[in-house]
Amino acid sequence: MGTKSLKRRLRESQNPPMAAAAPPRRKSRSYVTPSVVLSVFLTVSVIALLVLSSNKWRAFRSGPSYETITVVNVFPHDPEAFTQGLVYDRNDTLFESTGIYGRSSVRKVSLRTGKVEGIQKMDSSLFGEGLTLLNNRLFQVIWLQKAGFIYDPKNLSKIGTFNHDMKDGWGLATDGKVLFGSDGSSTLYQINPQTLKALSKQVVYYKSHEVHNLNELEYINGEVWANVFMTDCIARISPNDGSVLGWVLLQNLRKELKEAGNNNIDVLNGIAWDDEQKRIFVTGKLWPKLYEIKVSPVKKPIEEGIIEELCLRRPFKFA
């Protein structure tokens, strides 16, 4: 064997020729069974339903709130008092403005007993309306007039008069800085307590509806609460833009009084707030009882149209 042949054989033994590559294996065809399709469909449907429900609940929670009440305490109230304004002062003392020609008054009342501890009767030509307490002065407006009175809360003596920019006198409240007023329309007024001139006027809306017949007012935790005349509803109003932040539904109070034989009672009217103890009080015209209430959210979404039915009315016009 020659030298070249030997070298060639040595190279071939160190690097044997590669075997021919095996043909690629065909992938097996995959099959999706009907049960898998059904499972995926059901899973997607459940997720979609949960998302829609969550969005609906989120929309309900982020819109106006809806609240019912629980009665915490019941106190006696003068059944002859045609309540137009109600104010909590301190030491379980209330100030109350009453209406009706010949029976209108401003009075100091014991919360616990309902006893009238002081009274300033008004001229028979005047119909008392809203009342509030600011800087140790009681401000009261008069129905069908642009005038009002100022009283000393110590003895209820009249210490001044004023004129305001509202079309009529219905409700008054204060945040400690300005006065809030209503005139039975859908307008909420902010009033300078020094000049008694309107600082702003905001039309109150619930969704796309004007809320007419705003009556007695109270300022509670940054909101203006307003009785809506001829309803058993209280609107919780933003003083910033006039939007309705929520509704407090009190239909059961008057219903229970009626069922107990109090057939002469009139509408819900009168809200008072004890800022120190965080207590809310409500009553009505000619009601024999005054209630301390606690509000709590309605747990189920409100049925469409129910607020419009219960709480909204056409503008009220007196003959």
SS3 38: helix
Residue-level pLDDT at 317: 75
Using alpha carbons, list the distances in angstroms from residue 164 to 11, 142, 147, 202.
Answer: 117, 11, 6, 16
Architecture of domain 65-311: 6 Propeller (2.120)
Which tokens in the block code for residue 225?
Answer: 């609460």
Asked if pLDDT for residue 129 goes beyond 60, the answer is yes
Region 275-279 average pLDDT: 97
pLDDT over threshold 60, residue 26 = no
pLDDT given at position 96: 98
CA distances (Å), origin 119, targets 56, 96, 103, 152, 199: 52, 9, 11, 12, 32
Looking at the DSSP assignment, which residues form a beta bridge with residue 29?
none
What's residue 34's pLDDT? 56
User: 106 with 95: CB under 8 angstroms?
Assistant: yes
Provide mean pLDDT across the span 15-36: 48
Could you give phi then psi for residue 182, rounded to 5 degrees?
A: -135, 155
Q: Residue 14 has what pLDDT? A: 45
pLDDT tens per residue, range 165-224: 999 999 999 999 999 999 999 999 999 999 999 999 999 999 999 999 999 999 999 999
221 φ/ψ sector (left φ>0, alpha ψ -120 to 50, else beta): left
* Mean pLDDT of all residues in 244-261: 96
Pairing of strands 65-76, 268-274: unpaired
226 against 55, higher pLDDT: 226
Higher pLDDT, 139 or 301: 139
Report the distance separating Cα 77 and Cα 129, nearest Å.
Answer: 18
- According to the model, what pLDDT value does residue 46 have? 44
DSSP state of 319: -
State the average pLDDT over residues 73-98: 97
Q: pLDDT digit string (tens) for 51-78?
A: 444 444 333 445 799 999 999 999 999 9
Average pLDDT, the chain: 86
* Cα separations in angstroms, 275 against 42, 186, 283, 290: 53, 27, 18, 18
* 145 or 6: which leads in pLDDT: 145
Alpha-carbon distance of 60 to 76, in angstroms, equals: 37
The residues, any chain, with a CB within 8 Å of residue 204's CB and separated by 6 or more, are 186, 187, 188, 210, 211, 214, 226, 235, 237, 242, 243, 244
User: How is the beta sheet containing 179-182 ordered, strand by strand?
Assistant: 171-174, 179-182, 187-191, 198-203
- Whether 1 shows a pLDDT value over 80: the answer reads no
